Structure 1
Amino acid sequence: MRLDVRHLDLVLTIAEAGSLRRAAARLHLTQPAVTAQLKRIEQHLGGELFVRLPDGMLPTRAGALFVRDAARIRVDLAGLTHTARRALQDDAEAPVRVGGVPAQQFSLLIKALGALLPARGTTSRTVRRTDTISALLASCELDVAVLRRFPGTALTLPSGVAHRVLLTEPIFVGVSLGHRLAAAGRIALGDLADDDWVMPHPDDSGMNDYVADTCRRTGFEQRVAHVTDEAHVAFSLTAAGDAVCVLYPLGSARESLATLTLTGDPLFRELVLAWRTDSPVVPVVDVLCAHIAKGYLALVEDDDVYAQWWRRGGAESALP
């Protein structure tokens, strides 16, 4: 036998009622049932908790100590219940926690959640490393996130996390306005074999290796001359004519660059939506993805270079 909450309640009720008959009435049990349960508790403890008197029950010294501690435990249990219920209520009303790479889909996701779950609100953080996003999803610090996946790099997500490809996005290149190919519009990747490149620091996305391997398969070794994670620095170096930079098709502050698309679209990435299967976004995932797609298409139409690529057949490879 092991003492549990029911046993504590029975002993406390007997002590409060002062008799087995009144305790049985309060517990909605028969008096013989209360008597039998009390005997089992006392046998388990090794002695009597009450002195049986003609007019009722009186706690023994051991019984008084038992009643004192049982009352404290019951209060602690009530506090535990209140704390857990309040925490669950807070979780049910908490903002949706969003994370991910600083891609257009990130801001579109937040906007879509505001439309679909307006009462919840959102909090967000941008995170570049895939392993960090996975850890935050696993630890419930994030409910939903946007990740990137490059060919040749596996996307490993924790259990309890589902995912869906939002878009396969082409990667363009940027050159200075005075570059020999600036007016070409569309070039072959091999046309840049003699140029220096500016690239971000390598990370666990595998982007740097992917670009280098693609250049190698094209027939040349990529020559990285500048490394920076700051887009404005990369754009400034490129605009000065010192390097070629990779460009995602949507972005701002690129007026000083010529954007070139690549024949055959040899460079691309997947944007992936990942969400906890116990998060508040689960019931609206399909509509959420539709909202993001609609918002993304509107951005495509506002960018001349990307819109031309899209209409030239790019949509067939971009949309899942």
Structure 2
Amino acid sequence: MRLDIRHLELVLAIAEAGSLRRAAARLHLSQPAVSAQLKRIEQHVGGELFVRLPDGVVPTLAGTLFVRDGTRIRTDLEELTRTVRRALHADAATPVRVGGVPAQQFSLLIRALGVLLPERGTTSRTVRRTDTVTGLLASGELDVAVLRRFPGTSVTLPPGIAHRVLLTEPIFVGVSLDHRLSGARRIALNDLADDVWVMPHPDDSGMNGYVADTCRRTGFEQRVGHITDEAHVAFALTAAGDAVCVLYPLGSARESLATLTLAGDPLVRDLVLAWRTDSPVAPAVDALCAHISEGYLALVEADDVYAQWWQQGGAELAVP
């Protein structure tokens, strides 16, 4: 005898039903047939899987392990079926579904998909919360996404999702044009020890805690005076001289701010590409990453502050 899916389903049905009689009804079999099949399975594995009681059955220790691993195997088989069916019946014109944080890599990814998979097209949504993005990838609502990861935090990806670090990006700071340090171009983080900061709402990325911990390690407690998720509000508060804000190195609408780089690059983030391994994106990942890198380098060269940082050794930090 050899265990197969039918034996697995029978044992799980008995465990879920709690009795041979109810399991037989669920499986559309007679109770003697279920009892005989269970006995053959137990003989094969070498011991009882259930203790027979007057009003039903309960799993033995071995039975509990069988049910635990059997449930996982059944789930894996169901996912295998769904994966194959998606591959067999997918419409070649179905757009590639893109999601993730609104970083430069997000728009570069969409542009790269337009070059490499032009027949499909794309749909997209920006999502800030990491758990939401990974949930959408797991459910198949997204095919590929750009995630952020800060030092000391981790991104847990579900089965069937692969990932690759695209870039380690420095975090700069913005100050008003009248700020005492506005002409410095490059400063130490602790030069801002007496300033008030504007920060986004804390979320599951861990960014706020990471920035606060880094300030603390530098020798001061970060004072957050303003919280907003709207970049234009953060920039306006900073331009008015009321705060210091964090700046990612590429972006628009910063004319009213002075962008300062930080000595030693104490603040960074990883930009991560994550994709479903059963999606149309999977075979094209190497080419996608190459397109994204090429487009990103062009943006670096067009930004004076970032280009200078890049040329002064920043590339060694940034490129994986």
- Calculate the TM-score normalised by the size of structure 1: 0.73
Alpha carbons of structure 1 residues 277 and 85: separation in structure 2 relative to 1, 3 Å:
closer
Q: CA deviation digits over 1:10-63, x for unaligned, max 9?
A: xxxxxxxxxxxxxxxxxxxxxxxxxxxxxxxxxxxxxxxxxxxxxxxxxxxxxx
Residue 106 of structure 2 corresponds to residue 106 of structure 1: yes
CA distance in 1, matches of 2:262, 2:268: 10
2:234 is matched with which residue?
234
Q: 1:178 offset after TM fit, Å?
A: 0.1
Identity fraction in percent: 84
Name the SS of the counterpart of 1:293 in structure 2.
helix
Residue 174 of structure 2 corresponds to residue 174 of structure 1: yes
CA distance in 1, matches of 2:134, 2:87: 24
2:308 is matched with which residue?
308
CA distance in 1, matches of 2:314, 2:230: 28
CA distance in 1, matches of 2:257, 2:85: 56
| Matched AA of 1:141 | E
Q: 1:85 offset after TM fit, Å?
A: 8.3
1:9 is matched with which residue?
none
CA distance in 2, matches of 1:87, 1:281: 12
2:165 is matched with which residue?
165
CA distance in 1, matches of 2:228, 2:138: 30
Alpha carbons of structure 1 residues 289 and 87: separation in structure 2 relative to 1, 3 Å:
closer
2:189 is matched with which residue?
189
CA distance in 1, matches of 2:173, 2:135: 32
CA distance in 1, matches of 2:130, 2:90: 28
Alpha carbons of structure 1 residues 85 and 212: separation in structure 2 relative to 1, 3 Å:
closer
> In the comparison of the two structures, how many residue pairs are matched?
237
Alpha carbons of structure 1 residues 87 and 159: separation in structure 2 relative to 1, 3 Å:
closer
CA distance in 2, matches of 1:172, 1:227: 18
Alpha carbons of structure 1 residues 92 and 236: separation in structure 2 relative to 1, 3 Å:
same
RMSD over aligned CA atoms reads: 1.4
CA distance in 2, matches of 1:313, 1:88: 48
1:247 is matched with which residue?
247
- For residues 82-121 of structure 1, the aligned pairs below 5 Å read 89-121=89-121
CA distance in 2, matches of 1:319, 1:91: 36
1:28 is matched with which residue?
none
Q: 1:87 offset after TM fit, Å?
A: 9.9
Q: 1:91 offset after TM fit, Å?
A: 3.8
| Matched AA of 1:147 | L
Q: 1:282 offset after TM fit, Å?
A: 0.9
| Matched AA of 1:224 | V
| Matched AA of 1:230 | E
- For residues 132-147 of structure 1, the aligned pairs below 5 Å read 132-147=132-147
| Matched AA of 2:268 | F
Q: CA deviation digits over 1:226-275, x for unaligned, max 9?
A: 00000000000000000000000000000000000000000000000000
**Unmatched runs of 5 consecutive residues or more in structure 2:** 1-83
| Matched AA of 1:231 | A
Q: 1:104 offset after TM fit, Å?
A: 0.1
CA distance in 2, matches of 1:115, 1:195: 45
Alpha carbons of structure 1 residues 208 and 86: separation in structure 2 relative to 1, 3 Å:
closer
Q: 1:92 offset after TM fit, Å?
A: 3.6
* Greater gyration radius: 1
- For residues 119-134 of structure 1, the aligned pairs below 5 Å read 119-134=119-134
| Matched AA of 1:226 | H
2:263 is matched with which residue?
263
Q: CA deviation digits over 1:53-102, x for unaligned, max 9?
A: xxxxxxxxxxxxxxxxxxxxxxxxxxxxxxx9899545443100000000
